[in-house]
Structure 1
């Protein structure tokens, strides 16, 4: 009991680990297989030995029958015994067994042990032999052990005149078989021990990658996303390591973006709040009663409040889109009219930068969408185009259909997006130019929100862009959305 209580947690873990379970299962299969093979081999060898012995005994029995068959039919019983018994004794010594010869009535004419001479002998094998059947059987006697009985008929001129029964001990066969079984047991035990040792070594080597995974995952749980698993084997563990490293790189990137987002949002929230506070304090300390000055200050405060409200709305929109059971209220929507409303709403924003905002729609398109949400996605992309287009530039919005898609194209001649950033612009918190984004008031959420809304509509957004030439966004919404 003390020894059991003294086993460490690590030692206990070894006996419940996957490694130990695999080795135990493998050894159980090996032991079961070897047991079946050993039993099969043992039975096969026993059968071969016994069949060989049976064959030899039957040959001897037939020889004895041939030698004594002419003496069995003598008229005098005593005369028959005088001739038959010496022959039985002679062959008995040669085969180291007992020979009993009977006539057709079952009366013993010869017995190498002289025990049943003159008596009637009705043994099973004798009865079968007197019927013309050669028979053998094995008996296990408590006193003598395993004994083989073989009986053959004695035939003269196609007439059965008697039978010969030969009984020999086959204990030597079982003794040899016992030695063979011992050797098989020794070989099997040695094989099992070697297999166990090799299995432990091999599995210990094979499970090293799992220890690396465990170490890396534990580090991740503590917030360390710099861990990588290096595995050089060309197997599933290598594939797992590559997938794990890609995942941890993505998590590290998301963590960095989250930190940047928190910093950016903090900055963005602090800026309008600071401005509102500064403007309010200026008004409080204002001695003049000029209403125009107060009006100008209040307009600035209102603008900063709108800016703060926009940031909060984007954050709330992102939270709403993350809900698993977000309800999409599909309606048949006239997309031409929806885009006209959006363009008219954003024209004042474009005119402030002297940007020409135009809409082109040559065909009338009606599809099932959630008007409010899809409007938010389109506005984010057009606003983004206006924001990153220089003054006196142009932003073109075009509506058309292509196959199963309703396509809304937003094209600008602005600063463009680097090719290396095209795959990341829809990631949350990602901003191509952080300095420029702060200047323009972006939070890095607009495109992510648009992408999620379009995906909720079973659509996609594609982007083409060149630095210095501009960007083209293609919002593709299926015109046969399956509800």
Structure 2
């Protein structure tokens, strides 16, 4: 069309204007009619405008009166001045439809630099285009939405085939963390996920077996720790207690709640002397002394490091052992050796000095020699008694010590012993017998019990003042026969009463030695009474005398009824 218009304008340029307008009108109307048929009537108007902006032709019948008038359309002016095509989309004020407006320059030739001789101005209704675009968009969006829904649905199905086994594995892992190994992961296929599920189930079985083994070993360890007599404490690498058995709690007299998590040095009461680093490098045991004024109490602590193969120290094991009795035995042993040495050294020293004097010529002096020999003989006899007492204690300490028991009437037995002492005692000491009228039969080793009573009566006579009384009595108390021997002697200090039955113990050492005592008599008496199944003890107040009590097993149903003494 643009070519036909250019040719017509150039051909008719020199002709009269009415003839040009008729020719252009005919071309525009013909083209417009054909274009409307093709575009379903969307072409609203076609105008031909010359280079002076005069309307030469229009396809719109209602605008035929505009032919020859100057066009004031800005788009036309811009197309002429810029020599290029311009188009815009505007809104029709009447129909409110969107209209596409085009202004295309018409050149004198086909070249881009040829002279502009006019403008082809076209208005077209493009509302149907937008409706078609909207319809296409709706179809596209609908298809997209359906595709998206289908894709999501398909993705969910595909994802579930992957995530479901993984979710099952996660649940199984959570169950395993709680100690439940009975649950198994479902195997959905033979792919990688299925193989992973099979491997996971195998891992569960292995973990269950390992956990069972660990639990069994833990139960064994707990049983061992609980039944140990020694206390065991375990710490972490920072020295905080993570395990302590019941014996350790009992030895330390503490509760588990206040112990776990605390530093071990603080719990053992040695935090002022030792740090945790010191305990790690400790090669020797430490004695923990918890003794009080009432009773001794000593624990021994041995330390062992928990160390990995790499050398990393992971904690500390402490073993506690009660060595109170062991320390007491050791102390008694040292004291016993010291006492025996002292008891033997004293008479030997005395004998040596007298024998040296006799060797130096004192034997020629008739006044001195008998005295020296008498002292030597006395000290020799005292050493013999001491050795005999030690031998007797040694025999009693042995496991094969036996008693030769006989059933005797204790009333007569006790009387015979007292009668023997009464014949040899000084008249300055009086005996008082507080015996019941009932007869008491007991089964005893008469030699051993006689030795016990002899020792007690001898001590009572030794320490009784002139005019003092020694009282004797016995009575039945349940299944025991209780015997009493009391004197009015100087008494024993309260703090020493419990020790008079210890070996070599003397309240007044100098006086006891001068009276010929070995310090073993009451110790032997205690061993003999305890061998019979009885007990022996003393009650005394300093300056008011001493009372010795001992008991012997007694069967009232078999041997008779008990009486009373005062």
TM-score scaled by length of structure 2? 0.43
The structure with the larger Rg is 2
Output the TM-score relative to the length of structure 1. Answer: 0.50
**Structure of higher RCO (CA pairs closer than 8 Å, 6+ residues apart):** 1
